[in-house]
Amino acid sequence: MELEQMYEELGIQRDILNFAREIEGNLKERFRGIDETAEYNQMKVIQAMQKARVSDIHFAATTGYGYNDLGRDTLEEVYALAFHGESALVRPQLISGTHALHVALSGNLRPGDELLSPVGKPYDTLEEVIGIRDSAGSLKEYGIRYRQVDLLADGSFDWEGIRQAINERTKLVTIQRSKGYATRPTLSVDKIGELISFVKGIKPDIICMVDNCYGEFVERKEPTDVGADMIVGSLIKNPGGGLAPIGGYIVGRQDCIDRASYRLSAPGLGKEVGASLGLNQSFYQGLFLAPTVVAGALKGAIFAANIYERFGFLVVPDAKQSRHDIIQAITFGTPEAVIAFCQGIQAAAPVDSFVTPEPWDMPGYDAPVIMAAGAFVQGSSIELSADAPIKEPYAVYFQGGLTWYHAKLGILMSLQKLADAKIVEIPDAH
């Protein structure tokens, strides 16, 4: 009763609590499976840290050029071990997932090369990086061509279309694991492995890069376990565990990582420079916590799918499908419902809960975007957050929650806002 009173003091009405309790009670087995995966991945991270002989000396700060930064170099060894790659680039100078992807692409592509996406259009912010939408400094401006092969209507790969698209110029294949602003299924690691095997069967020297954002530690395997030459992500998503205040990573083949490092710093300097600026402890500890943080976010995503599917909304993945990233897409069909949902997520935040999010014209997007994120780290999407472009089909993308309990509160608050707006009617609990 004390817990119910606390929820009510936070603004959640009793009928919503009762409705949600019924749904939560049916998810115990799903949650147990998530916890087992988190336990496996926790051991994987600890093993990597032990093999790299991590010590408190590695938390020391460096400045200036950052020569001989032992903590930085050991952290990169830990990432390479944990993600089963030959080498890694893990830096605060990689300011976002988009930046890390740009460094990986531009470091490994040359004028006249062709970039292929066999999984359809990439995430919006990469459109200007590639040159799908014209932008100064894009790959297109440097003479790098781009092709894409869309997924089939059922979300499967267009094998024949991919075969025909690969030619003598095709240098790098980019595979986006998560859905981005689309309602397609997220790709499982096994599916990514099938695609990589198919591509390399046609042209063995193609570099296969996976945009791993939102997918780290969701499964027991990562794309580097199934043939990816590079995986790329952001530290303010899954692997930073909510503690990394900035940063990105690239893990994979030694030569690919070296070329990316020359793009990040300068030719001839590569990984030898780049001060860690006192951030190493947050990076190490965030990675240590990441498997359990990801487990909490996954529980929140499954809870959201089961809640909103009951009201007839399209949810991807659906309430019973397997999970391969932390994102839950919910198609509401109206801008009013999307806005109400995001305002509910914001109202559940520990930071800026009093702020009312509204759509605005964000850089890198082709439509107004609403973002809800009362986060300790600006833009951190491993923290409870939701965002949506205000355009058809009016789908919102929910993710994060450093704990399951916070993710749960966010979903309850979003449902409360929708109920208050008369968009949904809460059924009686059975």
Cα–Cα distance for residue pair 191/157, rounded to 1 Å: 9
pLDDT of the residue at 180: 77
Cα–Cα distance for residue pair 377/397, rounded to 1 Å: 19
pLDDT in tens, 372-425: 999 999 999 999 999 999 999 999 999 999 999 999 999 999 999 999 999 999
Contact between 38 and 217 (Cβ < 8 Å): yes
Q: Where are the domains of the chain?
A: 2-41+292-420, 61-287
User: What is the b/e burial string over 134-162, where b = at least 16 CB atoms within 10 angstroms of the residue's CB?
Assistant: eeeebbbeeebbbebbebeeebebbeeeb
The superfamily (CATH) of domain 2-41+292-420 is Methioning gamme-lyase, C-terminal domain (3.90.1150.60)
pLDDT of the residue at 430: 58
pLDDT of the residue at 429: 61
Output the 3-class SS for the chain. CHHHHHHHHCCCCHHHHHHHHHHHHCCHHHHHHHHHHHHHHHHHHHHHHHHCCCCHHHHCCCCCCCCCCHHHHHHHHHHHHHCCCCEEEEECCCCCHHHHHHHHHHHHCCCCCEEEECCCCCCHHHHHHHCCCCCCCCCHHHCCEEEECCCCCCCCCCHHHHHHHCCCCEEEEEEECCCCCCCCCCCCHHHHHHHHHHHHHHCCCCEEEEECCCCCCCCCCCHHHHCCCEEEEECCCHHHCCCCCCCEEEEECHHHHHHHHHHHCCCCCHHHCCCCCCCHHHHHHHHHHHHHHHHHHHHHHHHHHHHHHCCCCEEECCCCCCCCCCCEEEECCCHHHHHHHHHHHHHCCCCCCCCCCCCECCCCCCCCEEEECCCCCCCCCCCCEEEEECCCCCEEEEECCCCHHHHHHHHHHHHHHHHHCCCCCCCCCC
Fold of 61-287: Aspartate Aminotransferase; domain 2 (3.40.640)
Q: Which residue stretches of the chain have pLDDT < 70?
A: 364, 429-430
pLDDT in tens, 176-209: 999 877 778 899 999 999 999 999 999 999 999 9
pLDDT of the residue at 140: 97
In angstroms, what CA-CA distances link 39 with 85, 113, 127, 217? 21, 42, 37, 10
- Residue-averaged pLDDT of the chain: 96
